[in-house]
């Protein structure tokens, strides 16, 4: 599982992370020292559980929880605090737990065993992508609804690049073939990247997107894609390919050419 522990006191965070690693040694256990830092983490990483201190400066735990619920509704919130008077407000936010400091390992285990949203099996956390024909995307059997059509275009381009990290100029030229790289397009692209990250995070698959120093790429291990299977020599994918690939996108022309050349050579 993926957890985020949030407390403005690092001396509180350290033993909780240690306990979480003991309870779930194969999990990913992140930490933040403010509500704002935690929200930035959640934008980039889906979290199964957020352990939140309530009394924090600037953005307290209750307000952080509200924003987390908007960003990722199925993240379980477990409040950890030294003050029992916040319990009613905490459960008004549909928290999964409310633990009083100092927290013990048994309390954390019990909280994890009684989550409001139990962890989804890892294999369900894959996006299904069809590249042959028109580009389409599903999650758990349902089509993914992108807020903007260009967000879907950006995602298609990143899928086409097969995990390669793409810079701003590359993405602008793919999304707007007729466009010129300038501040207007750069600003719009940042909005599309944020929109894509939010869409994936709310589905629980935010880790599908890699972001690093102005570049963006796809974690191909998080994608069930006919094109990727074809490249691996999967017989079913080879049979499914009928000569068409991402037919609605200009940027896919180069890949279409290589696929057709490969098909003709077989």
**Length of the chain, please?**
266
**Structural tokens at position 48:** 């199964």
**% of the chain exceeding 70 in pLDDT:** 91
User: Which CATH architecture fits 2-113?
Assistant: 3-Layer(aba) Sandwich (3.40)
**Mean pLDDT along residues 6-35:** 93
Q: Which pTM value belongs to this model?
A: 0.59
| Pairing verdict, β 142-143 and 209-212 | unpaired
Per-domain boundaries in the chain? 2-113, 124-265
Structure-derived torsion over alpha carbons of residues 114, 79, 39, 10, reported in degrees to the nearest 10: -120
- Look at residue 121 and tell me whether its pLDDT is greater than 50: no
Nearest to 46 by CA among 112, 2, 90, 99: 2
Apex CA 36: angle with CA 30 and CA 38, to 5°?
15
β-pairing, 76-81 vs 49-53, is parallel
Do residues 46 and 206 make contact, with C-beta atoms less than 8 angstroms apart? Answer: yes
Q: What band does 201 get if pLDDT is binned at 50, 70 and 90? A: confident
Q: How confident is the model at residue 123 (pLDDT cuts 50, 70, 90)?
A: very low
The pLDDT value given to residue 64: 92
Q: State the Cα–Cα distance between residues 146 and 126, nearest whole angstrom.
A: 17
Please provide the average confidence, as pLDDT, over all residues in the chain: 88
- Token representation of residue 196: 């894509």
Residue 70 pLDDT exceeds 90: no
Whether the pLDDT of residue 90 is over 80: the answer is: no
Tell me how far apart the alpha carbons of residues 53 and 57 are, in angstroms, rounded to a whole number: 11
Which residue bears the tokens 């999964």? 96
| Residue 221, CB-side half-sphere exposure with 13 Å CA sphere | 3
Task: Report the topology of domain 124-265.
Answer: Arc Repressor Mutant, subunit A (1.10.10)
pLDDT at position 113 over 60: yes
Pairing mode of beta strands 136-139, 49-53 = unpaired
Start-to-end CA distance of the chain, whole Å, equals: 43
What is the predicted pLDDT for the residue at 170?
Answer: 94
Please report the pLDDT score of residue 1 as a whole number: 83
**Please, which residues bridge with residue 49 across strands?**
3, 76
How many Å apart are CA 42 and CA 75, to the nearest integer? 9
């Amino acid at each position: 599982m993926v957890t985020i522990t949030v407390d403005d006191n690092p001396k509180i965070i350290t033993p909780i992370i240690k306990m979480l690693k003991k309870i779930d040694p194969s999990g990913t256990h992140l930490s933040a020292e403010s509500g704002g830092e935690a929200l930035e983490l959640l934008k980039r990483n889906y979290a199964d559980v957020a352990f939140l201190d309530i009394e924090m400066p600037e953005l307290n735990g209750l307000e952080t929880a509200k924003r987390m619920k908007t960003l990722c509704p199925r993240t379980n919130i477990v409040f950890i605090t030294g003050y029992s008077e916040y319990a009613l407000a905490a459960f008004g936010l549909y928290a999964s737990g409310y633990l009083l400091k100092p927290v013990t390992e048994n309390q954390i285990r019990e909280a994890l065993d009684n989550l409001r949203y139990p962890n989804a099996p890892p294999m369900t956390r894959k996006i299904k992508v069809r590249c042959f024909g028109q580009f389409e995307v599903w999650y758990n059997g349902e089509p993914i609804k992108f807020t903007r059509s260009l967000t879907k275009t950006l995602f298609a381009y990143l899928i086409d690049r097969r995990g390669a990290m793409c810079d701003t100029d590359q993405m602008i030229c793919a999304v707007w073939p007729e466009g010129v790289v300038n501040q207007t397009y750069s600003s719009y692209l940042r909005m599309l990247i944020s929109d894509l990250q939010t869409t994936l995070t709310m589905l629980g698959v935010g880790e599908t997107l890699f972001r690093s120093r102005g570049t963006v790429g796809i974690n191909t291990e998080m994608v069930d894609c006919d094109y990727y299977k074809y490249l691996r020599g999967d017989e079913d994918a080879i049979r499914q390919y009928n000569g068409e690939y991402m037919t609605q996108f200009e940027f896919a022309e180069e890949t279409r050419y290589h696929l057709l050349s490969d098909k003709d050579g077989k």
